[in-house]
Chain A
Amino acid sequence: MDPKDQIVSLLKEADLYQKQGLLNEAKERYKKATDIIKNNAGIKNGQELIASIVKKVVELNQKINTINQATSKPAVSDKKQDLIKKLFASSGEKKDGRHDLEGAIALAKFGQFDRALEEFERLLDDETVRVAAAKNIVRCHLESESPEDAAQSFERWVGDDRFSTAQLDKIRFFIEGRFRKLGFERELYQHEETVSEEDIEDLEMVSDSNEAVDTPGTDHGVESQPVVLEDMELPEEDEFLDINSVGIQLQTGVQKGRMIELDVSFQTGNSINLIVSSKESTLLGELEKGTELTDMQFFSPIAILNGSGVVTAKTQIKSGPKEGDYSLDITILTT
């Protein structure tokens, strides 16, 4: 093609890409056009042409910078926040605490932290979602990179009689786990009553009568028990418990019934990924895409849960230090 025609068509392309918001593509075309002009001394008005292109490229660079610097989740208008809440709270039409909680979680996911925090704070009044709301308050603070605020929120709740000791324990475990992950060192202040010898005697009395404790009003003692499984509200999606490792029982072979523990390499929501060594041939033989695992154990920092899962992918690793091993995706169905 004649260089002149080439330049004309490159500039035309560049202008179009620029109009369509394809800024890098536009820039690249401008650059190509400039190169051609430089290499063809015979082109009329070459210098002026280059000058006008340079001007356009400068403008493009400015635009690209603005876009790159923009935050990806700026706060939007109240009306749009209302819409986000409505559209992304999926628990149907029932207007209960759970529904409101989902709406607030949606806001947080879209980065509308101030509004989400307001709603979570309000939801602390609702017994059914209190712990989840509290954890989400923590999460909002961590997402906005203010772990100290998370710690202080917790310390406020310690003196707040809406929270039982068991609830506070759960929240504290949760925060400590998150802090550990972040490498943020901060002790959480949790008020502990000083115990006198008399108290200890009292305590023994309580534990003596423990069997009769189920009557309302005497749930003393029950409160301070360690977290039990039935107690664990089942968070959805991101709210899923962090699973460190899982246990899978062999169904076949000489070692039938043996529990194999596997580390979780990463987790998104209820989907976990594991690496299984090629040496575990019996296990590998039992696990195929679609295999349902009805008797799994999930080890999280706070509890061991029994549940089921389904293998959603199984691929052999083709290179690197784990070559030959298998990468398994498992979706946790119930815990």
Chain B
Amino acid sequence: MATFNFKKREIECKIVYYGPGRCGKTTNLEYIFKTYKKQIAGEMVSIDTEGDRTLFFDFLPMGLGKIKGCDVKVQLYTVPGQVQYSSTRKLVLKEVDGLVFVADSLEVRREKNMLSLKDLHENLKSYGASIFKVPLVMQYNKRDLEEEGIPLMPIERMDQDLNRQLKAPCFSASAIKGQGVPQTITECLKLTLLNLQRQLKWAK
């Protein structure tokens, strides 16, 4: 849940990157960390295993500066995507204000995307939140692999699989090259801040 400090006119919100194991959540954050030095408010902390799988979470604090007279701070997190880390995943999701669902475009990961979305749905429900209400942006990642002849799911199919009911804004991306990463986070921030404006009326 976002905190809004009336006195300091400061709002802090939490955005979580969710998705199946190895889909590129950490890579998204790494790209943001590398590229937007000015908006980064501290170090990126990754709690991961040796094989660079996220174990607990990645954390990246951002400061967007003043928006409508209010100092906007954002905490970006990634969850561990691997199935066995389900309890940690749920902990990280707690009190989320906005979500990016990173889907893996690899054909071999099709089912894993769907399972992960379902897992997200369940976890939100357990916190009394709804996947239909929390601001959410879809990202279809690893599109660069198309050129290499690796079998990918067509965007339309991914939309069918994952976004038919949600109808969330979606972006193709190659997190490793940074393509689509800024668009994804920008849209997610926009939706999240608008939603918080409706609830908290933080802007003047």
Contact flag A21-B59 (CB < 8 Å), given A63-B51, A88-B91, A109-B91: no
CB distance from B127 to the nearest CB of A (A): 8
A90 to B95, CA, bound (A): 9
Q: Which of B41-71 contact A (CB under 8 A)?
A: 45, 47, 49, 51-53, 55-56, 59
B150 touching A80, Cβ below 8 Å? no
Tell me whether chain B's interface is mostly helix, strand or loop, or mixed: mixed
Q: Quick one: closest A residue to B95, CB to CB?
A: A90
In angstroms, Cα B47 to Cα A83, docked, is: 10
Chain B residues in 8 Å Cβ range of A271: 126, 128
A196 smallest CB distance to B (angstroms): 52
Q: Does A129 contact B (CB under 8 A)?
A: no
Contact B53 A72 (CB under 8 A): no
How many chain B residues touch A (Cβ–Cβ < 8 Å)? 32
* Contact between A76 and B22, CB atoms less than 8 A apart: no
Within 8 A of B (CB), among A105-146: 106, 109-110
Residues of B within 8 A of A (CB): 1, 3, 21-22, 45, 47, 49, 51-53, 55-56, 59, 75, 84-85, 87-88, 91, 94-95, 106, 108-109, 125-126, 128, 145, 148-151
Could you list 26 A-B pairs, sorted by A, with CB under 8 Å? A12-B148, A13-B150, A16-B145, A16-B148, A21-B51, A22-B22, A22-B109, A25-B108, A28-B108, A67-B49, A67-B51, A70-B49, A72-B84, A72-B87, A72-B88, A74-B55, A76-B55, A80-B47, A87-B75, A88-B94, A106-B91, A109-B87, A269-B126, A271-B126, A271-B128, A312-B125
Interface of A toward B, CB cutoff 8 Å: 9, 12-13, 16-17, 20-22, 25, 28, 63, 67, 70, 72-74, 76, 80, 83-84, 87-88, 90, 92, 106, 109-110, 268-269, 271, 312-313, 329, 331
